[in-house]
Amino acid sequence: MSATQVREDTRAHRPKPEPQKGRRRPLAWAAGAAGVVVLAVLPLFNLSVPGLLPGPTYTPGSLQLMALCMLMAAAALTYHLLLGVAGMLSFGHALYFGAGVYGLAIILDRTGLPLLPAMALTLVAVIVLANLTGAVALRVTGIPFAMVTLAFAQAGSVMVRRNPDGATGGEEGLSLATEHVPDFLVGVANTRNLYWLALAALVTVFLVTAWIQRSRAGHVAAAVRENEMRVRVLGLQPYLAKLLIFVVAGTLAGVVGMTYLLLQSGAVPRAVSSDFTITLLVMVVLGGVGSRWGAVLGGVVYTMLDQRLTALANSEAIAGLPPILHIPLSEPLFLLGTLFILVVLFLPGGLAGAAARLKGRKKDAARPREILEEAG
C-alpha cells in the first residue's frame, strides 16, 4: 500500500469534528421557543402532576404556583447577570426587586394613576436608584463591593419596616390598590391571565439577558471577571461596563418585582431583605453559575421545593416518623439546606453542569461506535 493510500484511508476513518457551538444555537432557541409555547397553552389543559402541583394545571392554585416559579426564575436570571456574567457578588440585589414591588404599590395607592403609567414611573425610579447605588458600590470590588450592596439593601429594608408616613405598611406589608388595576388582572378567576403575564416577564428577561450577555458591554464585563488589569491595559473601561450590567440587572429585577406585586396582590418586607438576595444566590448556584438556562432551572426547582416541601413537612407521613426523623424533616429549610449542600459537594457545576457532563459522556460513548461503523 502506498503512502498516499495510507493517508487517504486515515482521513476516511478519522473521527468527524463535532458541530460548532454556533451551529447548535438555532436548535437551542427552537427548543426554548417550543417550551414557551407549551407553557403558554398549559393552562388550557386538564393535566395533573402529583406531588408537584396542588391540582390540575387549569386550577388557580396550580397556576399561581407555576407563575411564581417563572417569576423567581426571572429574578434568578437578573442575578445571573451580576454573578454569572460580570462576576459581581452582590448581597443587595433584593433592593431593586423590592423597589419594583413597593414602588408600584405606593404609586398606585397614593397617586391613583392607572397601571401602565404607574409602572412606567416605577421603572424610572428603579433605573435612577440602580444608577446611584451602582455608581457608589462599584468604586470598590470583591468583598467590599458585597458589603456596600448589603448596606444599601439593609437601608431599604429598615425604611420599609419603619413605615414612613404609613406608605409601606411596616411589618404588615402593603396591599395592592386593585381599583387602579384592570379587572382582567384582579381576582382568583383571572389567575390564568397573571400566569401569562409571568410567562411574558420571564421571556422578556431571558431575551434581554441574552442580548446584554452577547453585547460589547457583556463581553467586556466577562473579561473583567477573568482579569480586570488586562482589560485596563487594553484601553477599555471596566467600570462603565460593570455599571451597565449592574443597572440592567437592577432594572430587570424591578420589572419582575412589579409583576410579582400583581401576582401576589401585595408587598411584604421580605421582598427587600438580604435573605431574598441569598435565595437568588442559592438559585443561581443550584442551577449552575454562568448558565442562563441553569439560572432558570435553579429558580424553578428551588421555588417548587420551597412551596411543596412545606406541604410534605406537614403531612401525616412525616408526622408518623420517630422524633429523630420527624423533627428535621418537618423543617423545609433543613431539607432545602441539605439539598444545597449535596449539590455543592457532588454537582459543582450545578444542575446545568451535571446535564452538560451527562451529555458529554453520551457523546464520548457513542464516538467509538460511530468510528467502527464508518470503518466497517
Tell me the domain boundaries of the chain.
55-293
Residue 347 banded pLDDT, cuts 50, 70, 90: confident
Place of cell 397573571: 194
Residue 250 has pLDDT above 90, yes or no: yes
Q: What is the DSSP string of 189-244?
A: GGHHHHHHHHHHHHHHHHHHHHHHHHSHHHHHHHHHHH-HHHHHHTT--HHHHHHH
The reported pLDDT for the residue numbered 371 is 45
The rounded distance, in Å, linking the Cα atoms of 303 and 73 is 8
The reported pLDDT for the residue numbered 373 is 53
Tens-digit pLDDT profile for residues 105-156: 999 999 889 999 999 999 999 999 999 999 999 999 889 999 999 999 999 9
The reported pLDDT for the residue numbered 365 is 53
Tens-digit pLDDT profile for residues 325-336: 777 777 777 777
- All residues at 6 or more sequence positions from 253 whose CB lies less than 8 Å from its CB, including other chains: 75, 78, 79, 93, 96, 97, 100, 126
Mean pLDDT of the chain: 85
Tens-digit pLDDT profile for residues 154-164: 999 999 999 98
